Amino acid sequence: MSEQGKEVTRRRVFYIPGYDPIPPRRYRELYRKEGAAQAEMSGYTLGLAPKKGRNFGWSVAGEIEGAQTRSDIDVLVWSDIVQQSMAAGIFRTYLILARTAWTYVSTGALFRLMKLRRGPMIAALYPIGVLLAQLLIAVLLLALITWSGRLLGAAWIGLVPGLLAAFLLLRWFKAKDDRIFAYYLMHDYGFSARWRGADPPALRARMDEFRAEIAEALREDWDEVLVVGHSSGAHLGIQILADLIRAGEVPERGPVLSFLSLGHVVPMVSFLPEAKVLRRDLAYLSTRDELFWLDVTAPGDPCSFALCDPIKVSGVAPADQKWPLVISAAFTQTLSPEKQARLKRRFFRLHFQYLCAFDRPGEYDYFKITAGGETLAARFAGAVPSPSRIDTPANRFTEMAEEGKL
């Protein structure tokens, strides 16, 4: 593998989204808009252009800190799998709610995760509370209409219209979910809970395809191959890169391999009993010399396990662990008070802030990382782990899969 500190003129970036049903064009538009804002504030230049290839993506020409670079950015798409998992109707969604709640409560994961970080667990309980409240309102409407029928002399007179009204109300709530995100979040948490932490079969096959894409890039003439995993895309990246390295697909004289995990939610999966492959890959990747791994979160992001070392808190840290380097995006320092006030209750927007512009930028700058003239290792060569990081093992389930098993 190339030297970690080399300069970069040509970079290949693979972005792995989290659980997101929206097509990947949103990420190009977000990069275009926020990159332009960051470039104006920080005094550098970014130019976007279409990119050819199998995947959706774009090219970026950067002039940053005296370096001229070209980065090809690919979005590794699994939104179709997300869409299929969200296709459940109202009744099935409530079954998913019951199954997910039972999985996290019966295994004890809910209570251990709550002790680890309350923010993401409040976010996890939010859809359950909202959906149960919606169901209660619908039941009360049914009871009211049925009671009105009794006043007219027969309960059945109100029962049928009551059932219809309750169903139509639940449909109306579901139609408005683009504002409250209860159904979306319920399906998000239910996606992993259904398999109790094991990889969903459809996703496992897609991850193998992603690995092949990255392996191909490592055989090409790039200075750096950078993998970015956001939210639940972080634990996908961990497993993909572990498989890649385990298979010997990182050439000794190839591009520098870098991994940037952002806003991770690893414990939501690794604390489940059947997450044996993920726990094995966490332990394996944390010791490897083939890559540099930077993990960035922020306490101001209520949807992530901020500053939690995903290996240590999962209880699988080996004695020779070297990754990840855990740092904070420090929203209270890197965002002005005015911007913090605007984003205060916009929890999803805060969860995406890692991909956006900072009006008081610090050491973390997504656009310098993806379009600047240094490798990730060189840019953060002098960085030290956040003193506020959480590294106490908190997981009851620490069994790991055997090598060679999925």
Reported as a single tens digit per residue, the pLDDT across 277-310 is: 999 999 999 999 999 999 999 999 999 999 999 9
pLDDT recorded at residue 160: 83
For residue 294, give its domain range. 1-401
pLDDT recorded at residue 5: 52
pLDDT, tens digit (0-9, with 9 covering 90-100), for 139-174: 999 888 888 767 666 556 667 888 999 999 999 999
**4: pLDDT strictly greater than 70:** no
Q: Quick check: 213 and 74 in contact, CB under 8 A?
A: yes
Phi/psi class of residue 381: alpha, beta or left (left: φ > 0; alpha: ψ in -120 to 50)? alpha
Q: Is 175 helix (H, G, I), strand (E, B) or coil?
A: helix
Supply the pTM of this predicted model: 0.93
pLDDT: which is higher, 109 or 52 = 109
Within 224-349, strands assigned E span 224-230, 256-262, 292-297, 325-328
Residue 406 lies in a domain: no
Instruction: Taking residues 344-354, report their average pLDDT.
Output: 91
Q: What is the mean pLDDT of the chain?
A: 92
State the Cα angle at 237 between 335 and 249, rounded to 5°. 135
pLDDT recorded at residue 88: 86
Residue 105 lies in a domain: yes
Instruction: Taking residues 368-381, report their average pLDDT.
Output: 96
Q: Quick check: 99 and 272 in contact, CB under 8 A?
A: no
Instruction: Taking residues 81-102, report their average pLDDT.
Output: 94
Which residues in 316-330 are b (16+ Cβ under 10 Å) and which e? bbeeebebbbbbbbb
Beta bridge partners of 46: 62
pLDDT recorded at residue 23: 86
What is the CA 55 to chain-centroid distance, rounded?
20
pLDDT recorded at residue 148: 79
Q: Quick check: 307 and 297 in contact, CB under 8 A?
A: yes
Integer Cα distance of 82 and 77 in angstroms: 10
Sign of the dihedral defined by the CA atoms of residues 68, 70, 75, 76, in that order: negative
Residue 330 lies in a domain: yes
pLDDT recorded at residue 156: 61
pLDDT recorded at residue 162: 84
**2: pLDDT strictly greater than 50:** no
Question: Nearest Cα to 386, choosing from 308, 312, 288, 269?
Answer: 308
Return the minimum-mean-pLDDT range out of 120-124, 231-235, 241-245, 261-265: 120-124
Structural domains of the chain, count: 1
pLDDT recorded at residue 33: 97
Q: Quick check: 322 and 229 in contact, CB under 8 A?
A: no
Residue 264 lies in a domain: yes
pLDDT, tens digit (0-9, with 9 covering 90-100), for 126-146: 999 999 999 999 999 988 888
Tokens of 87: 């296709």
**1: pLDDT strictly greater than 70:** no
pLDDT, tens digit (0-9, with 9 covering 90-100), for 7-57: 899 999 999 999 999 888 999 999 999 999 999 999 999 999 988 777 789
Question: Nearest Cα to 392, choosing from 112, 119, 123?
Answer: 112
